[in-house]
Each structure stands twice: as C-alpha cells, then as structure tokens.
Amino acid sequence: QRRGLRLSTPAAIQVTVRDALNQALDEELERDERVFLLGEEVAQYDGAYKISRGLWKKYGDKRVIDTPISEMGFAGIAVGAAMVWLRPVCEFMTFNFSMQAIDQVINSAAKTCYMSAGSIAVPIVFRGPNGASAGVAAQHSQCFAAWYGHCPGLKVVSPWSAEDAKGLLKASIRDDNPVVVLESELLYGVPFEMSEQAQSKEFVIPIGKAKIERQGTHVTLVAHSRPVGHCIEAATVLSKEGVECEVINLRTIRPMDIETVEASVVKTNHLVTVEGGWPQFGVGAEICARIMEGPAFNYLDAPAVRVTGADVPMPYAKILEDNCIPQVKDIVFAVKKALNI
C-alpha cells in the first residue's frame, strides 16, 4: 500500500484445461532441470492436443523429446530415467495406448519401490487423455481409472477443472512415486475460472484430497473428471425441484479420499456415484463398498446408486455413443431413485 491506496492484484481469470496443463508443464520444466517430457508428437508438432505448445522451442531437444510410435519402448526409457532420479513426464496420445506399455507401468514403475524395500524411487508421470472423446469408437474411448486405481504402487489423479489440471499435474511431477494423470480430451478446450492463488508458480493441489464443488443437504453426488460437470448441471436442475445435491469432485482415484465422501453421506443420508467407465469393478463400486464397510453406512436411508458408462465397448455411431455415456438426465433419474421421489 502507498498513501492509503491499495495496489491492484491479479484477479481470477478464465483458463482452458489445455492452457492450465501447458502452464504446469512449463513451470515445472523451468523449476527443475531433471524434468523432461517425452511422447509422440510432443515436440515439433506441439503435441497432438497442443498441450505442449511452445515447450520444444523454449527448452530444446533434450527436455522435450519426440518418440517413435512405440509405447513400450519410450515408457521403458522413461521408467529407466526415473530410476536414476530424472523426472520424466511420459505422454500417451490416449490412455488406450498405454496398454502397449502396461508391463512398464505396472511391473517396472509401480512395483519397484516396494520390491527394492524403498531404495529405488520411480518419480515418473504418465499422462494423456482418458475415457470417451467424440466419435472415436472402442479403441480410443476406454476409461482406465479403475484399472490403474487397482494397482498398489501407483498414485492416480483425474482432474476436472483448469485448477485441478494445473495443481494436480504439478503435484504429480514433484511426487517421488509413479503417478498416472487421467485427463479428458473433451475438457481440453473448456474454460474455467482460475483463482489468483492458482496462477502462482507454486500452486499445487495435494494428491489424495477431494473437493466439495457444491454444498447440499439431500444427496451426495461423487464423480471425477468430466462427469463432475454433469453432476453440477444435474444439481442445478434438481434444485428447482427442491432437491439440494452435494457434489464432490473426487480429484484423486488412488489414494481415495473416502473421509470426505463419508462426511457428506453422514450429512445427506444418500449417495449416488457417477463415472464414465464400466460398472463392474469400477470406481463407483469401490466407493460404495468403502461406504458399506465404514461408519457412514449407518447413516444411509437408501441403497447407494451407481451411474456408469454402459457395459459394452464404445460404439462409433453418435446416438449409440450418447446412450453409452452418463448424461445429466441419467443423474437426475438416479437421484430421484435414491430419494424415492
């Protein structure tokens, strides 16, 4: 302050998820010379989804590396680099293609710290688009949250907003464990408000902590990634009918912040989980089981309800695709079912 006048400070701004991820990578590449990015088209082409736009020109060939179309090969190179305390960020053009590198992700990255009695850390990030996009059929539309969330040794995050994307990616790069960052291609171009705090180069979001996006009293909605937005839309619709939904953005799949979910269920007495993945052994199934086994079960007034993707490989035709992905109307129906209205 000077002469009683308050100096202006940056206010909240609109930032797309794409730009938030780009900021996170830029800031971490600048902060730590051990960080490097590798993957298909990440350098000279600026990334298949332009997440790495401008980074190759700024940091050069040694820090932003184009790879051949060989996920097993470049994921293995990245894991080896992490074992000698570099901090690779390994981009998969889609997480469906991470199946080509599953041996490296699980057997090499996830298990090494435990099997070496803690003497070998593997500080690596595997990131890229996960789940359904639009019109890309079964081989490009699968959600791997349940797959990777199943595996001890990995941390798994699933951002929704621009702040989620920036804060969780930065935290993942700084973490000494292998972290899987599951992004949504359909969110890349979506703008979100980014607070003044989130614009800081030191802004990180703790891995393993959920966020309550909307307060409510009648039912708890829990989701991650793009379905968080659907839940907020459904909550807006239901509020006009006198139903107040509490919306929880899970943010992290593993370790799961079940305490935040339990506290909400104790308050609302009802639970609906929402995810784009398949129902069997899914994220929602795990949440329901944890609530069943814990103290919040005694507060439930009705069975928990899951809203999931259809239990089929993703069809190509748009009308079929729309019917395979949870929509706002499906969430509204599930809430009314849980509340018996």
Which one, of 318, 306, 251, 302, lies nearest residue 279 by Cα? 306
The residue annotated as part of the active site, out of 140, 218, 224, 270, is 140
Q: Does the pLDDT value for residue 209 go beyond 50?
A: yes
pTM for the predicted model, two decimal places: 0.94
Q: Are 181 and 274 in a shared domain?
A: no
Does 5 map to a domain? Answer: no
Output the domain CATH number for residue 66: 3.40.50.970
- Taking every pair of Cα atoms in the chain, the longest distance, rounded to a whole number of angstroms, is 67
pLDDT tens digits along 225-245: 999 999 999 999 999 999 999
Does 307 map to a domain? Answer: yes
Give the residue from 199, 231, 249 where a domain finishes. 199
pLDDT tens digits along 128-167: 999 999 999 999 999 999 999 999 999 999 999 999 999 9
- What is the reported pLDDT for 5? 44
Output the domain CATH number for residue 271: 3.40.50.920
Mean pLDDT of the region 60-70:
97
Residues 6 or more apart in contact with residue 6 via CB below 8 angstroms: none
Does 323 map to a domain? Answer: yes
Kindly report the number of other CB atoms within 10 A of residue 146's CB atom.
20
- What is the reported pLDDT for 11? 84
Domain span at residue 302 reads 211-339
Query: Please, where are the H alpha helices in 85-160?
Result: 102, 112-115, 145-149
- What is the reported pLDDT for 2? 40
Does 204 map to a domain? Answer: no
71 annotated active-site: yes
Q: Does the pLDDT value for residue 7 go beyond 70?
A: no
Does 148 map to a domain? Answer: yes
Q: Give the DSSP H or E segment for 23.
A: helix 17-31
Q: Are 72 and 120 in a shared domain?
A: yes
pLDDT tens digits along 295-307: 999 999 999 999 9
The residue annotated as part of the active site, out of 28, 40, 71, 262, is 71
pLDDT tens digits along 255-299: 999 999 999 999 999 999 999 999 999 999 999 999 999 999 999
- What is the reported pLDDT for 106? 98
Does 1 map to a domain? Answer: no
Give the residue from 137, 170, 199 where a domain finishes. 199
Q: Are 301 and 264 in a shared domain?
A: yes
Confidence of residue 176 (pLDDT cuts 50, 70, 90): very high
Give the residue from 199, 225, 242 where a domain finishes. 199
